[in-house]
């Protein structure tokens, strides 16, 4: 487990260094099935260390002296309900994906067009949940429901979260989602070629992304 905790801290620092996180925004966690380690409240992702992580049980009871992020309830809800048995979670407010979450005419059924196989392999289908106050019980319920069928969840006017079997997998999904959102805005006024139904089916058959 020590390696996963170190991976969490390394991922957090990398997100901050590359502009995926800023100030004290964003939170990450990992679980061993019984305990959850989550980034502490009010802390920048820039210089986290393993001994600064908050440790809680699956009900949210503190197991060390560090105070967990106020958004820990949706981490717990996601782990309880994850259809894929996720053990790691990344939540960011990165620029391009937040911009996507703020679009009034966002299509909840397909919030991003499928124009690369990598988005289909690592992210899609992307769930969209309505705006709910950060840290609220209602947000935790909505995340828990979405996690029953999705590893990637877009929160309206807020940000996103990605789940993975490992921190590396959750990070890969977060990076792919942010870069696809960036491409979406860069290409909005261009004529695009999307993956056809047959091409999408082939990707799903070969690489096994769950629908």
- Sheet (strand 126-129) strand order: 54-57, 35-38, 27-31, 88-92, 159-164, 152-155, 126-129
User: Per the residue annotation, which of 10, 118, 145, 179 is the catalytic one?
Assistant: 118
Catalytic residue, chosen from 20, 71, 72, 79, is 71
Q: Where are the alpha helices (DSSP H) in 18-153?
A: 72-81, 95-101, 117-122, 137-146
Closest CA to 123 of 69, 179, 77: 179
Q: Where are the alpha helices (DSSP H) in 68-189?
A: 72-81, 95-101, 117-122, 137-146, 167-186
Is 71 in the active site?
Answer: yes
Strands of the chain, DSSP E: 27-31, 35-38, 54-57, 88-92, 126-129, 152-155, 159-164
The Cβ of residue 15 has, within 10 Å, a number of other Cβ atoms equal to 24
Is-catalytic flag, 118? yes
- Give the residue among 15, 8, 83 at the shortest CA–CA distance from 38: 8
Separation CA 159–CA 121 (nearest Å): 21
Distance CA 151, CA 173 (A): 9
Half-sphere exposure of 19 (CA within 13 A, CB side): 5
Active site residues: 71, 118
């Amino acid at each position: 487990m020590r390696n996963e905790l170190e991976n969490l801290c390394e991922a957090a620092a990398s997100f901050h260094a590359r502009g995926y996180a800023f100030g004290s925004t964003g939170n990450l966690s990992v679980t061993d099935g019984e305990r959850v380690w989550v980034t502490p409240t009010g802390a920048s992702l820039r210089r986290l260390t393993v001994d600064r992580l908050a440790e809680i049980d699956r009900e949210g009871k503190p197991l060390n002296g560090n105070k967990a992020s106020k958004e820990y309830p949706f981490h717990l809800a996601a782990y309880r309900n994850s259809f894929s048995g996720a053990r790691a979670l990344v939540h960011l407010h990165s620029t391009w994906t937040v911009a996507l979450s703020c679009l009034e005419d966002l299509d909840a059924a397909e919030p991003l067009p499928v124009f690369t196989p990598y988005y289909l392999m690592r992210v899609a289908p992307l769930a969209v949940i309505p705006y709910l106050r950060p840290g609220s019980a209602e947000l935790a319920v909505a995340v828990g429901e979405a996690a029953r069928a999705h590893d990637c969840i877009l929160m309206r006017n807020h940000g996103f979260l990605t789940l993975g079997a490992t921190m590396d997998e959750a990070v890969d999904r977060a990076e792919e989602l942010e870069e696809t959102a960036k491409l979406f805005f860069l290409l909005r006024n261009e004529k695009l070629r999307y993956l056809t139904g047959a091409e999408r089916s082939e990707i799903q058959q070969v690489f096994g992304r769950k629908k």
